[in-house]
Amino acid sequence: MANLQSIMDHAVAVARKAGEVVREALSDDRKVMMKSSAVDLVTQTDQKVEQLIIQSVKEKFPSHRFIGEESVAAGEACVLTDDPTWIIDPIDGTTNFVHAFPFVAISIGFAMNKQVEVGVVYSCLEDKMFTARRGKGAFCNGEPLAVSDQTDIQQSIISTEFGANRDPEAVDKIFCSLRNILSLPVHGVRGAGTAAINMCLVASGCVEGYYEIGVHVWDIAAGSLVVSEAGGVLMDVDGGELDLMSRRIIAANNRSIAERLVKEITPFRPPRDDSPPQKL
Ligand SMILES: O=P(O)(O)OC(CO)CO
Ligand SMILES: [Mg+2]
Ligand SMILES: [Mg+2]
């Protein structure tokens, strides 16, 4: 039986170390490479930080498994089993990092039996360490977090992202959802440029709801626990149960805001994170 407190302590320590590396790299030249498209970016710092986290966890927990964004990009399988698994996004907000736009997170989730037990999101340029353990609450720099108590979507801020999908049909659907939500009207629509920080903003009570289609399991694993432990709710964009591998999420302060978002979102289904690689 894994000791969840020692896992949490290790995740926090390694996230802090990773944050230092990211902050230092901001003053260097950032060599940008492309992944799936010209707007899906990666840097050597993403790769270096992922290796640093995985090496450090392997030394302490040699039997644990990993799903890491850059390891998957390099060809590793993206499969969540019942085994203890660390789900890592070394830099959530790489585009922000490339442009020094000041919201960049290290996201580390730990799951067992396919359930996230520990979530750590380190917003490293703000020096905010968000932590959650299932059943034990969510915190920012040690202070307890609670979602907003707003139930009226017209009095709400909603956050979302446009993502890296430039397929015209997907873009149309993204804009259709956005137009519906803006026209309710809501107080405002925001986007921090990182899924993990958007979710921590919901957990902190300053954003009522966040939704996105196109995220990956490493973007949302840790943040989803921070939201639910702060009293929020998670669901699929069609109102069903959240599936971490489905690349779709609503994270909201309460069920009434989440269900209102479901009514306004035009859903679509990107290929799942755990779908077998396409044969060429
Ligand atoms: O910067 P990253 O890790 O590619 O993540 C993006 C979404 O995939 C922002 O959340
Ligand atoms: Mg990410
Ligand atoms: Mg990333």
Residue 35 corresponds to which amino acid?
Answer: K
Which of 144, 176, 204 represents a domain boundary (last residue)? 144
Whether residues 110 and 72 share a domain: the answer is yes
My answer on whether 20 and 95 are in the same domain is yes
- Position 226 in a domain: yes
- What is the average per-residue pLDDT within 242-266? 98
Whose Cα sits closest to atom 5 in ligand 1? 92
Task: Specify the CATH number for the domain of residue 113.
Answer: 3.30.540.10
Domain hosting 191: range is 153-264
- Please give the C-alpha separations between residue 156 and each of 176, 206, 253, 271, in angstroms, as whole numbers: 19, 9, 10, 31
Residues 222 and 242 sit within 8 Å (Cβ to Cβ): no
Statement: the pTM of the whole predicted model exceeds 0.90: yes
130 in the same domain as 215: no
Q: What is the mean pLDDT of residues 123-130?
A: 98
The tokens describing 252, both together, are 């909201």
CA of 218, closest atom in ligand 1: 3
Are 190 and 229 contained in the same domain? yes
Of all ligands present, the nearest one to the C-alpha of 53 is 3
> Are residues 20 and 140 both part of a single domain?
yes
Q: Which residues are annotated as a binding site for Mg(2+)?
A: 69, 89, 91-92, 219
pLDDT over threshold 80, residue 280: no
Residue 274 lies in a domain: no
C-alpha 195 – ligand 1 centre gap (Å): 7
pLDDT value at position 278?
A: 60
Residue 113 belongs to a domain: yes
Q: Please state the rounded mean pLDDT for residues 141-156.
A: 98
Count: domains in the chain: 2
Is residue 40 one of the residues assigned to a domain? Answer: yes
Secondary structure of residue 237 in the 3-state scheme: coil
Report if residue 276 sits inside a domain.
no
Q: Is residue 271 situated within a structural domain? A: no
Q: What angle do CA 245, 222, 258 make, to 5 degrees?
A: 70
Question: Same structural domain for residues 14 and 70?
Answer: yes
In-domain check, residue 280: no
CATH number for the domain spanning 186: value is 3.40.190.80
> Is residue 69 within a helix (H) or strand (E), and if so which, with residue range?
helix 69-73
Within 10 angstroms of residue 118's Cβ, the number of other Cβ atoms is 27
Q: Are 114 and 205 within one domain?
A: no
Query: Based on the domain organization, do 254 and 122 belong to the same domain?
Result: no
Quote the pLDDT of residue 279.
Answer: 53
| 89 Cβ inside 6 Å of ligand 1 | yes
Atom of ligand 1 nearest to the CA of 89: 3
Same domain (yes/no): 14, 133: yes
Question: Tell me: the pLDDT tens digits for 228-242?
Answer: 999 999 999 999 999
**Catalytic site positions:** 69, 89, 91-92, 94, 219
Q: Is residue 112 in a domain?
A: yes
Average pLDDT over residues 94-121: 98
Please indicate, yes or no, whether residues 222 and 164 belong to a single structural domain of this protein. Answer: yes
- The verdict on 82 and 126 lying in the same domain is yes
Residue type, 171: V
At 16 the pLDDT is 98
Average pLDDT (236-258) is 98
Q: Which amino acid is at 226?
A: V
79/193 same-domain check: no
* pLDDT, mean over the chain: 96
